[in-house]
Each structure stands twice: as structure tokens, then as C-alpha cells.
Structure 1
Amino acid sequence: MLIYRGAGFLTLLTPIATLLLLMWLWPDPAVAKGNTSLTQLLIGFGIGAAINVLLGLVLNRGPRAPGERARHHFFFVPMQWPSLVIVVACAAVALLR
């Protein structure tokens, strides 16, 4: 029994890949090479998780039989909902900062 099913692994992979891409394309001059700032981290994770929310909504659409699990899940929850939690957490930290 895996903690993900289908494309559920993208719940973690997409935000991390987006952050690494952001660090490579637009390095933050205020931090040492190879490091990232909190702003860059929040933007990278937020954008990656938002992409994953949309991807999860598209992949998991369609009718399911009662009791049938989502085709793409992470920790047995459809993959778009943990990604939405990541987006909300990034927005909350950015607003409270």
C-alpha cells in the first residue's frame, strides 16, 4: 500500500521542482549562492502547488462509484486538496510576514 496513487507523487514533486527552477532562473542576489530567501520559497511552493491543484482537479474529475477512491491521491486524499493546503499555507505565511 503506497502513500500515493497515480500522479499523487506530484503533490510534493511539483512545488520542489518549481522552487528549483525559480532559483535557477532568477537567483536572489540578497542570499548566498545555493540558498534561497523566504520570499522565493513561498513563491516557488505556491506556484507549484497551484499548478498541482489545477492538475488534480483535471485528473480526478469524472464520476466515481460510491466508496471508490480517487485515481490520483496523496495520503489517500485526492491530490488537489493537500496542494490547496500548501497554497493556503504559503499565502498565510506571506501575509503574516
Structure 2
Amino acid sequence: MVIYRGAGFLTLFTPIAALLLLMWLWPDPSVDHGNTSLRQLLFGFAIGAFINVLLGTFLNHGARAPGEPARHHFFYMPMQWPSLAIVVVCAVWGAIRVN
């Protein structure tokens, strides 16, 4: 049993890749080398997940027959919906925790 189909694996890969790219290009001067702050973590995950929302919406557009699953899914949901949940969680957590 596979938990993703098509490009659904990008639901987890894109936010992690965006965070690592952000850490490499713009390291946070307030933390030790190789570490990251909560602000940078949430920002990197939110950027990567937002890219994935756009990508999932583009890849899964078009009509499907009733009962036919999405071509690109993660845990049997179209890949843009779990990514949108990641963006919302990062925004809420950032609003509550980051000063």
C-alpha cells in the first residue's frame, strides 16, 4: 500500500527542501552554525508548502470521473490539501509563538 501517488511525495519533500535551502542561503545569525530558529523553520516550511499548493493545484486540475482518485495524492487526498494545512499550521503557530 502506497501513501502517495504521482508527485504526492513532494508534500513532504518540498517544505524540507525549502527549509534547507533557506538555511543555506540565509543562515540565521541569532543561532549557532547548523541550527535554525523557529521563525526560520516555520518560514521555510510555509514557503515550501505554498509552492506545493500551487503545484498540486496545477497538476490535479481537470475533470475526474466520480470515484476516481486524484492523479497526485498524499494519504489519499489531493496533494494540495495537506500542503495547505501545513501552511495554515505554520501561520497560526508563527502568530502565536514567534515574537
Aligned length: 97
Hey, what's the Cα distance between the residues in 2 that align with 1:66 and 1:93? 36
Listed one character per residue, the Cα deviations across residues 24-77 of structure 1 (whole Å, up to 9, x for unaligned) are 000011111110000000100000000000000000000000100000000000
| Percent identity between the two aligned chains | 75
Corresponding residue for residue 88 of structure 1: 88
Unaligned 5+ runs, structure 1: none
Cα RMSD for the two superposed structures: 0.4
Write the letter of the residue equivalent to 2:62: G
Shift of 1:8: 0.1
Hey, what's the Cα distance between the residues in 2 that align with 1:24 and 1:95? 25
The question of 1:4 aligning with 2:1 is answered: no
Hey, what's the Cα distance between the residues in 1 that align with 2:34 and 2:5? 33
How do 1:44-83 residues align onto structure 2 when only pairs under 5 Å count?
Answer: 44-83=44-83
Shift of 1:13: 0.1
TM-score (normalizing by structure 1): 0.99
Unaligned 5+ runs, structure 2: none
Hey, what's the Cα distance between the residues in 1 that align with 2:96 and 2:29? 24
TM-score (normalizing by structure 2): 0.97
Write the letter of the residue equivalent to 2:14: T
- Structure 1 runs (4+) deviating above 4 angstroms are none
Shift of 1:89: 0.2
